[in-house]
Amino acid sequence: MLSGLSQAALSSLLSSMIEQGLVSSSSESGKATKRGRPSTSVSLNARAAVAVTVSLTMNKLTICLVDYAGNTITNEIQTLDTKQLSAQEINNIIITAINTTVTTVDDDPSIEGISVGFQGVTDSVAGDLLWSPILSVDRLPICQTLEKQFNVPVTVNNDCTLISKALHYNQKEALGDSFAAVLFSHGVGLGVYLSGNPFSGPQSSALELGHIQYERDGALCRCGKRGCIEAYASDYGIMRTAKSLPENEVYPHLVSDHEIDDLIMAADAGDHKATLAFTTAGKAIGEGLATVLTLLDPMPVALVGHNTGAVNLMKVEIQRCLEFAGRSPKDFSELIHCYHEDSSLLHTGLVLDAMATLDRRFAHKTNNTPSVELS
């Protein structure tokens, strides 16, 4: 069977889960199709537990309350200027937002776990945010802060790691067990799955594709360095090139999907500056992908985010970089898979991570329950 467990082991495990109230069961009615006991259907008890997911991206905080079946109960979205916040302000805003979201539910549920996703480098051991281009503070101990405040397990992950987790869950047929996921929107990030497991560094999320140097002493990146891939391939880098703004200035505004769509239309209509912006982005992304695939061998690549709408405008340059490095398959479509909605994938990754936290929590509540993840 799919679980890899014997029928006896599975029956024992389900009995323990039913006793804990984690699943419910019912006998299937209707004509029996084979001898023996009638079939029993089981389903997760959505009311067994509640978890919170926290997403902090460029100028946006999203708090979601999810049940044990992975359904979103309610959410709250705040717009804020992330660059202007101190560490204490960030902590206070997140704690207040969680409390506010919980109190909007009628039965005021007790939360059992919190999953946090950040745009930036995270400490995979301590759960700290080490650095982020969207903040002005370093080393934010968000895991310790939330665990102390709410007395529940807290996990902290890089947003690209969570996006790759979601892709492995719902796009496995297209991407397989080994693939690279490149977040391609406000910034440029990387998540990698190898043989069915997410890759991370021994101490941090490690994979900062957007901040690999593309041009020495080149355009200013939001991270403060010059010549990063992100400085050319992110939406603010693309917009800066299209508007012929100085390379020593970071485009000051948050670029909307509508602005990128307008720029794509202009390039399709033959606008030289718009075309240059996308071909430049294609070169930068292509060089980054060539590096990744040289290190890890050719594998499917998921480009994620609203900039994927311009892939056809970048395709020639991406392909040229990969061919030059000798890391390109014959068919471009075998390599590149585009997913426009990064927010929904990030949410799915956070929910999967939160459910795994709840599973571990329940598995250790009783000695009679096997210590396994149930999701």
Average pLDDT of the residues of the chain: 87
Read off φ and ψ for residue 303, nearest 5 degrees.
-90, 125
The secondary structure element, H or E, covering residue 24 is strand 23-27
Instruction: Say which residues have a Cβ less than 8 Å from residue 293's Cβ, sequence separation at least 6.
Output: 180, 299, 301, 322, 325, 327
Look up residue 338 and give its two tokens: 């585009």
Give the model's confidence band at 373: pLDDT under 50 very low, under 70 low, under 90 confident, else very high: very low
What is the CATH architecture of 162-343?
2-Layer Sandwich (3.30)
- Cα-flanking dihedrals φ and ψ of residue 328, to 5°? -110, 135
The helix/strand/coil state of 207 is coil
Q: Compute the radius of gyration of the chain from its Cα atoms.
A: 23
State mean pLDDT over 233-255.
Answer: 91
pLDDT at 126 (0 to 100): 83
* % residues pLDDT > 70 (the chain): 89
94-143 pLDDT tens trace:
999 999 999 888 776 789 999 999 988 888 778 888 888 889 888 899 99
**Does residue 1 surpass a pLDDT of 80?**
no
Tokens 């290190």 label which residue?
Answer: 295
- Structure confidence at residue 274 (pLDDT): 97
The answer, yes or no, to whether residue 172 has pLDDT greater than 90, is yes
Dump pLDDT digits (tens) for 48-81: 889 999 999 989 999 999 999 999 999 999 999 9
pLDDT at position 371: 37
Question: CATH topology for 47-160+346-363?
Answer: Nucleotidyltransferase; domain 5 (3.30.420)
State mean pLDDT over 333-344: 90
Q: How far is CA 219 from the centre of its chain?
A: 27
320 versus 251: which is more confidently predicted?
320
Where is pLDDT greater, at 330 or 17? 17
> Cβ–Cβ contacts within 10 Å for residue 334, how many?
11
Question: C-alpha distances in angstroms, 291 versus 192, 226, 288, 308?
Answer: 13, 19, 5, 20
One-letter identity of residue 117: G
Q: Is 4's pLDDT higher than 70?
A: no
pLDDT classification of 29: cutoffs 50, 70, 90: low
The average pLDDT across 188-201 equals: 91
pTM for the predicted model, two decimal places: 0.88
Q: What mean pLDDT is predicted for residues 232-260?
A: 92
Q: How many CB atoms lie within 10 A of CB 217?
A: 8
| Higher local confidence (pLDDT), 190 or 44 | 190
Confidence class of residue 155 from pLDDT cuts 50, 70 and 90?
very high
Tokens of 263: 């720029």
Q: What is the pLDDT of residues 249-272, one digit of tens each?
A: 888 778 999 999 999 999 999 999
| CA 216, chain centre distance (Å) | 30
pLDDT at 369: 42
Q: Write the Ramachandran bin of 39: left for phi over 0, alpha for psi from -120 to 50, otherwise beta.
A: beta
Domain range annotation of the chain? 47-160+346-363, 162-343
Distance CA 261, CA 343 (A): 17
* Backbone torsion region of residue 93, taken as left when φ is above 0, otherwise alpha when ψ lies between -120 and 50, otherwise beta: alpha
- Structure token digits, residue 10: 């599975």
